[in-house]
Amino acid sequence: MHIVVTGGAGFIGANFVHHVVREHPGTQVTVLDALTYAGDRRSLDPVADKITFVTGDVADAATVDPLVAAADAVVHFAAESHNDNSLAQPWPFVQTNVVGTYTLLEAVRKHGRRLHHVSTDEVYGDLELDDPAKFTPETAYNPSSPYSSTKAASDMLVRAWVRSFGVAATISNCSNNYGPYQHVEKFIPRQVTNVIDGVRPKLYGTGANVRDWIHVDDHNAAVWQVLTRGQVGQTYLIGADGEVDNKTVVETLLELMGQPSDAYDLVSDRPGHDLRYAIDATRLRDELGWTPKYTSFRDGLAATVDWYRANEAWWRPQKNATEAKYATLGR
């Protein structure tokens, strides 16, 4: 099989490329990435001789069309994905997440190719902290930021192209990922690299917000299962029963890094900060037999801390600019 991976130099996409090269070596992989600030070609250095890399914008039909024509399937990771950035500058999120997905859909429609669209649980909005419910494929969409609203729009486009034009597509909505090659602007790598630099971690609000964490390797193993065995037109939720509040995340990583568990600071909450996410992955587990490797969040977090300690050369160039940006926001 020949697959095109959009956003394959980003965090989840790059780890997916590593997964495919490692676990499915007969697969031909072409990566399409615009190499914006969140894409780093160095993330693909270990597999560079085993893939084809194309620099380009997923919203550019002239670039996308011939790549899709030459492939059997497309796995669509490319997205603008940072909530704070979407609040400050929404347009790139519309361009990449909505226009980019439309452009891909028209290409796979034209050439009759398979598409898997990678989305987020944030399209469902949030849950109350004391609510026992979890998101399911039937949960109504209720996005709360420019980021999540553009991802919701892209999901709706995929569903419309499946129903209206018979495009062979699937969707997955995943909970919060963590692991190697994640940009230091994100919550876990930012706090890990702060501790490495002797800087106290920062928590929005009181740290009570809950995320359903999943290691990126587990996410990508599930994406492969959906791509190769999933039912066309179906939506699969990907989660590893990893609900942890942000305060516990920071306290755990401080302990793992040999620091007092209370060595962090609270900062003002961000606008529209969702309270809780929780995924019901029953369909994925029952229909496709997927189970996570990292059943313990602490174990996955420990492996992630080890990776950032061992790979400072990868994240150091991003760090100063990221912290300068957060300083202007008081965060």
Catalytic residues: 121-122, 147
Give the amino acid at 34: A
Residue 56 tokens read as 């380009």
Q: What angle do CA 112, 29, 156 make, to 5 degrees?
A: 45
In angstroms, the CA 211 to CA 282 distance is: 18
State whether residue 110 is helix, strand or coil: helix
| Nearest residue to 79 via CA among 8, 179, 172, 22 | 8
* E strand spans, 108-167: 114-120
Q: What angle do CA 160, 165, 171 make, to 5 degrees?
A: 45
User: How many Cβ atoms are within 10 Å of 129's Cβ, its own excluded?
Assistant: 11
| Nearest residue to 35 via CA among 60, 10, 62 | 10
Q: What angle do CA 243, 244, 246 make, to 5 degrees?
A: 140
In angstroms, the CA 245 to CA 266 distance is: 14
